[in-house]
Amino acid sequence: MKIKIISSITVLVLLASVDTMAQKTLGEATKGKFLFGTAVNMQQVNGVNPIETELIAKEFTTIVAENCMKPQPIHPEENRYNWDDADKLVAFGEKNKQVVTGHCLIWHSQIGRWFFTDADGKDVSPDVLKERMRQHITTVVGRYKGRVKGWDVVNEAFEDNGTYRNSKFYQILGKDFIKYAFQFAHDADPNVELYYNDYNVETPAKCDAIVGLVKELKAAGCRIDAVGSQAHMHMNSPTLEATETSFKKLKAAGVKILITEWDISILPSPYDGANISASFKYSKEMDPYREAIPDSIQQKWNKRVLDMFGLFLKYHEVIDRVTVWGLTDNTNWLNNFPIRGRKDYPVLFDRNNQRKPVVDEMIKMAEKQ
Ligand code: G3I
């Protein structure tokens, strides 16, 4: 009789510990190492799918707006701002005691054409563009002063070969548009953290250009707290070595590192990276896992996730945050980029809002550190 009672107690304790393990979140497991978060869309903030909303509130210690705080959505016309979505998202993060990041103040994409054009449809003068940048940055950063921990001040200003992207900002103001943006953001909120954000930071020439920018900004007396490495990855690129080399270079430049938009596409890629302006034609061979993923491929993806996450943990002293670019495979931007209408599996929750098995492996890894 006694043995029976002991064994049933043992079973209960075991179940409880398994259950606790299952309950443990990545946000909890990475506490003390780095913030762990996700990009959030407005359907999730508005509770259109309550399961997703609940998961975001529970699983993560930080959130970032996938779209609503970008130049075009938040400032669609020179004299009109659209605060509703951004206000709701920031309030959502505060309610869930999450750190909120602002993305993004200055970007060549998703920005109103009005920013660069005068009444005659011609390019505005450097002074006019600089003043429009100042207005935009001062107003947006000022509105969320003390509520947003840091801003992606400038997004994607370099090409992969390390040259400046020939954006309208660059054409009209030259490379100094970056310095102006950081200065305006700091003037608007001296306590907010300021970041430069880009994709393919693991590419040596691009990483060197970003390190050069960090040094130039510091030499000009500008505050720059971190470089955001978007980390939009594929099955074979970037390599672990290239990723680690970029971490070493950025650490040596005296800035923190943020993994700002992490996802790992499992699909064949017509090219590496996330240069949003590229696009390619749909074909069946480029969309091989519509019905299901062969276990061998899933295992390869899991290993890729764990290898990269292990590297992030190795550099947790200089990495302040890891953000996955979206909660579930279902609503992920990669289903339509760089090829529209594909079925990708790039993030940590599946199409049924279930945590993928690799997440428990990640939690074990984080707890072992
Ligand atoms: O909100 C409008 C909607 O009203 C309209 O009916 C619909 C019709 O197309 O478009 C909707 O806007 C879309 C927006 O996402 C919100 O869903 C835009 O067309 C679409 O281009 C936009 O895509 C976003 C993309 O940036 C372009 O800005 C993706 O969701 C977002 O994941 C992606 O994120 C970027 C980062 O900000 C910067 N780094 C690269 C990353 C991936 O491209």
Res. 278 pLDDT band, cuts 50 70 90: low
Could you give the count of Cα atoms lying within 13 Å of 63 in the half-sphere of its Cβ?
31
Percentage of the chain lying above the pLDDT 70 cut: 92
Assigned domain for 25 exists: no
What average pLDDT score do residues 304-313 get?
98
pLDDT score of 279 more than 80:
no
Res. 15 pLDDT band, cuts 50 70 90: low
Instruction: Check if the beta carbon of residue 192 is closer than 8 Å to that of residue 141.
Output: yes
Residue nearest to atom 34 of ligand 1 (CA): 66
- What pLDDT does residue 21 have? 46
pLDDT score of 14 more than 80:
no
What average pLDDT score do residues 267-283 get?
71
CA of 134 to the centre of ligand 1 (A): 24
Ligand 1 nearest-atom number relative to CA 333: 32
CA nearest to 159, candidates 170, 146, 145, 173:
170
Q: Which residue out of 279, 333, 334, 337 has the highest number of ligand 1 atoms within 8 Å of its CB and is therefore the one to mutate?
A: 333
The reported pTM is 0.93
Q: Is 230 a pocket residue for ligand 1 (Cβ < 6 Å)?
A: yes
Instruction: Check if the beta carbon of residue 157 is closer than 8 Å to that of residue 114.
Output: no
pLDDT score of 111 more than 80:
yes
Q: Is 38 a pocket residue for ligand 1 (Cβ < 6 Å)?
A: no
Is 78 considered catalytic here?
Answer: no
Q: Which residue out of 154, 198, 276 has the highest number of ligand 1 atoms within 8 Å of its CB and is therefore the one to mutate?
A: 276
Q: Is 274 a pocket residue for ligand 1 (Cβ < 6 Å)?
A: yes
- What pLDDT does residue 269 have? 86
Assigned domain for 5 exists: no
Ligand 1 nearest-atom number relative to CA 107: 38
- What pLDDT does residue 11 have? 57
Q: Please tell me the least confidently modeled range out of 2-16, 75-89, 143-157, 350-364.
A: 2-16
Assigned domain for 172 exists: yes
pLDDT score of 23 more than 80:
no
- What pLDDT does residue 317 have? 98
What is the per-residue DSSP string for 178-224?
HHHHHHHHHHH-TTSEEEEEES-TTSHHHHHHHHHHHHHHHHTT---
Q: Is 107 a pocket residue for ligand 1 (Cβ < 6 Å)?
A: no
- What pLDDT does residue 270 have? 82
Q: Which residue has the higher pLDDT, 271 or 282?
A: 282
CA of 248 to the centre of ligand 1 (A): 32
Active-site residue (options: 52, 59, 156, 202): 156
Average pLDDT of the chain to the nearest whole number: 93
- What pLDDT does residue 6 have? 53
Neighbour tally for 43: CB within 10 Å: 12
Euclidean distance between CA atoms 4 and 140, whole angstroms: 65
Assigned domain for 50 exists: yes
- What pLDDT does residue 280 have? 80
Assigned domain for 24 exists: no
pLDDT score of 277 more than 60:
no
Cis peptide leading into residue 268 (ω within 30°): no
Rounded to 5°, angle at Cα 289 from 288 and 291: 125
Percentage of the chain lying above the pLDDT 90 cut: 89
pLDDT score of 9 more than 80:
no
pLDDT score of 52 more than 90:
yes
CATH of the domain at 357: 3.20.20.80
Residues ≥6 apart with Cβ < 8 Å to 155: 103, 104, 106, 107, 197, 198
Is 261 considered catalytic here?
Answer: yes
pLDDT score of 169 more than 70:
yes
Assigned domain for 8 exists: no
What average pLDDT score do residues 335-345 get?
95
Res. 260 pLDDT band, cuts 50 70 90: very high
Assigned domain for 232 exists: yes
Q: Which residue out of 46, 66, 324 has the highest number of ligand 1 atoms within 8 Å of its CB and is therefore the one to mutate?
A: 66
Assigned domain for 109 exists: yes
Q: Provide the pairing of β-strand 150-155 with 99-107.
A: parallel
- What pLDDT does residue 174 have? 98
> How remote is the C-alpha of 56 from its chain's centroid?
15
List the domain range (segments joined by +) for residue 201.
Answer: 34-368
pLDDT score of 118 more than 70:
yes
What is the domain count for the chain? 1
